[in-house]
Structure 1
């Protein structure tokens, strides 16, 4: 009767208001229940938590009433029934972290009074007063990522330039190798010619000595060319007054320098004499040795004269041969060094070639580290002693990026045994520099080496959630 009276007493508008209020309250209660049940769940797992009479543990091990989900009691061994509480030791709580990166935390951290999620969702029922810091964190991360992307873009542009330079440098070195090989071939021909001439000079010397000793004037005349070559100091094919004065002397007054008139007279009245004229004039005078002789001879028989002449030709050829041999050896060493450099893997586009013959230093406390790519790594103490931390070994990057890591091996022996070695990790940057050095284990070194050629194109930047 009370109910009827009240109902009759209330107007239709008031009844409508109460009905709407009741519906909203019930809906809000249902929403709260749904929220409780799906708290700590990532979007990809929400399909497992749809409202139904029963819940199957995600590992398939057990079926429980749906009311037991998130009831602060662990029923599933995998902890999947308590994603929003700390009841299960193996459970995980999902931080949505809108505007930042979502991630999981152990369920044991839920409602422990410490804010682990930047959106404070892990402390929904604790005394902690957590502020939502996701927006600020996202802003900082976005700024960092944008900076990284700018660095990547600039690094890729620089890398392209270095690739172009690497291709040109590779072609230059190939051309240089061909040129050196041609020089080596030419020097080998010259060396063989000098050896032949030296052998011929030694043969003529021996032959001349025998002929002079036997008084064979025809052979003596035939060997006039050797005497002419000896007197022709500048090897221009002509004898001059000065050359005659320098190497011809009077038999009975060897110390006195011939006058200009005396030298001109020996040259037949002129100031120049070629080989043909020499063999028919001055050579006869010298072989008789009754008035003039080659300076340094001791008698008029011609024996010492011949020895001096042929020995000087042999010495001349020996000197030239030695010079050519030295040049030949130097060129061959350059060829060997260049071939060794060209066998190194400088990347698919020779982009790392510019690092060859370069060295980069970094001081860490009392040590100065030097990285010479494709050569060696050294460590120098303040005392000035250099220690080898390894010589170039190989590329040792991942299968997807082989050129991301270098290994330098067989350095100086370590006091614990074995030898020192260094692993160099290459990272993307707008400049080429050695950034850090550390020694995680004794005599094993790790370096961070930054360079544009380490930059790799990417389709998207990892680590940024789509909600940012």
Structure 2
């Protein structure tokens, strides 16, 4: 008789001990040491200790029922030895579904839960090791790319300095050519004036061939008025035809005064003026192109390429992926496009700025000011950057109308992980 009583007492003690600690993590175990009373963790209420885990919610914070589903705001702690421990909502305790990999949440249900924590832990650790391997490879590659980027940066700076020096020299040449053009045109006017001096005072100038009286050859009789009109129209048309030819060949010097074509001084002056105009025009065009190239290079050098300019590696490169019957192309720091099978290309956004969170501002690229959607907003794209041993677009999608999302994997996005995130808790 005494033996059975002793066994019953021991069983009851074990039952009470298991009941009171079920669903509790080690960090909270101190609150559940067996006493005559239990103080709710929020301090709102003091209850008899027997009411802990009795399947009735007494505390407002649900702390008296960590191992049951009685409190709607309570949490159950999955120990999950061999895998990651975590909390689940108390409402999922004994609901017939195995939420904890060790099956501890279904201690009083019809569910037959197998303990899969060890397999899950092994799989997660293998995945973590693979991620760490890729991270180490990416970090090694990133260091090489940072060094290459530093060389590219120095080359771009030297290129800009050279272009600015060329621009200064070209500006001096432009001043010289403008002066030369002015002098050449002045000499041309002097040559024309010398070839055709003004008539002495009182002397009539030559008669206009259009308004002069024209005699019929062999007849010695003046032409009739109608004949004069016909002849005038013919000459006017010939002049107009000649003017059209001059307009089609703007480089041909326009000489309206008769007899100047054979004057060597006039021809030399006209050719000199023509050469001066052409040289000035050519140099002005070259200066404009040079200034445009300088502005583009200055804009590129003004971009934030990261703390070590590591993202300079992506400048001038483009990456493509095919999805949903479209070819998507991203050219970092430039633009994102979408091309259909028919060959129609649509701009999905131009480079705008970095858009990552404060802890990793270089984790997201923003591309705005794309082509407008039909009855929708202007297209834009956000590109998420992730660590990888090579550079490639992993996926693309359209989470909302005319707004696109991409993931670009690249070594320059690799960052050393904090020590706290490198391991997996396999034991408690």
- Paired residue for 2:40? 57
C-alpha deviation, 1:89, in angstroms: 2.1
C-alpha deviation, 1:203, in angstroms: 2.4
Secondary structure in 1 aligned to 2:421? coil
Quote the Cα distance in structure 2 between the aligned partners of 1:346 and 1:301: 65
Quote the Cα distance in structure 2 between the aligned partners of 1:71 and 1:375: 64
Structure 1 segments, 4+ long, off by >4 Å, are 21-29, 209-214, 298-303
Pairs within 5 Å for 1:154-169: 154-169=137-152
C-alpha deviation, 1:143, in angstroms: 0.4
Cα RMSD for the two superposed structures: 2.5
Residue of structure 2 aligned with 1:43, choices 17, 26, 33: 26
Does the aligned pair in 2 maintain the 1:118–1:133 contact within 8 Å?
Answer: yes
- Paired residue for 2:244? none
1:186 aligns with 2:177: no
Residue of structure 2 aligned with 1:386, choices 342, 345, 364: 345
Does the aligned pair in 1 maintain the 2:23–2:66 contact within 8 Å?
Answer: yes
C-alpha deviation, 1:24, in angstroms: 8.0
Secondary structure in 2 aligned to 1:198? helix
Deviates most, 137-146 or 182-191: 182-191
Residue 300 to residue 64, structure 1, CA distance change in 2 (3 Å): closer
C-alpha deviation, 1:27, in angstroms: 4.9
C-alpha deviation, 1:140, in angstroms: 0.3
1:125 aligns with 2:108: yes
Quote the Cα distance in structure 2 between the aligned partners of 1:463 and 1:37: 34
- Paired residue for 2:208? none
Unmatched 5+ residue regions in structure 2? 198-256
- Paired residue for 2:249? none
Quote the Cα distance in structure 1 between the aligned partners of 2:266 and 2:129: 87
What are the Cα deviations for residues 332-364 of structure 1, in whole angstroms up to 9, with x where unaligned? 111111111111111121111121222111111
What are the Cα deviations for residues 162-187 of structure 1, in whole angstroms up to 9, with x where unaligned? 21111111111111011001111111
- Paired residue for 2:90? 107
The alignment's TM-score, normalised by the length of structure 2, stands at 0.80
Secondary structure in 1 aligned to 2:310? coil
Residue of structure 1 aligned with 2:361, choices 386, 389, 402: 402
Secondary structure in 1 aligned to 2:175? helix
C-alpha deviation, 1:198, in angstroms: 2.5
- Paired residue for 1:235? none
Decide which structure has the larger Cα Rg and report it. Answer: 1
- Paired residue for 1:411? 370
Deviates most, 196-205 or 298-307: 298-307
Deviates most, 397-406 or 457-466: 457-466
C-alpha deviation, 1:210, in angstroms: 4.3
- Paired residue for 1:260? none
Quote the Cα distance in structure 2 between the aligned partners of 1:300 and 1:212: 9
- Paired residue for 1:327? 286
Residue of structure 2 aligned with 1:318, choices 277, 288, 313: 277
Does the aligned pair in 2 maintain the 1:212–1:303 contact within 8 Å?
Answer: no
How many pairs does the alignment contain?
Answer: 368
- Paired residue for 1:377? 336
C-alpha deviation, 1:132, in angstroms: 0.9
Pairs within 5 Å for 1:5-404: 26-27=9-10, 29-211=12-194, 304-404=263-363
Residue 147 to residue 302, structure 1, CA distance change in 2 (3 Å): closer
Secondary structure in 1 aligned to 2:151? helix
- Paired residue for 1:446? 405
Deviates most, 381-390 or 97-106: 381-390
Quote the Cα distance in structure 2 between the aligned partners of 1:363 and 1:369: 6
Residue 85 to residue 464, structure 1, CA distance change in 2 (3 Å): farther
C-alpha deviation, 1:463, in angstroms: 7.9
Secondary structure in 2 aligned to 1:114? coil
C-alpha deviation, 1:195, in angstroms: 2.3
Residue 179 to residue 24, structure 1, CA distance change in 2 (3 Å): farther
Does the aligned pair in 1 maintain the 2:146–2:313 contact within 8 Å?
Answer: no
Quote the Cα distance in structure 2 between the aligned partners of 1:436 and 1:300: 77
Quote the Cα distance in structure 1 between the aligned partners of 2:259 and 2:301: 64
Does the aligned pair in 2 maintain the 1:49–1:55 contact within 8 Å?
Answer: yes
- Paired residue for 1:238? none
Does the aligned pair in 2 maintain the 1:212–1:302 contact within 8 Å?
Answer: no
Does the aligned pair in 1 maintain the 2:125–2:424 contact within 8 Å?
Answer: no
Residue 453 to residue 410, structure 1, CA distance change in 2 (3 Å): same
Residue of structure 1 aligned with 2:390, choices 431, 434, 437: 431
Does the aligned pair in 2 maintain the 1:166–1:354 contact within 8 Å?
Answer: yes
C-alpha deviation, 1:154, in angstroms: 1.1
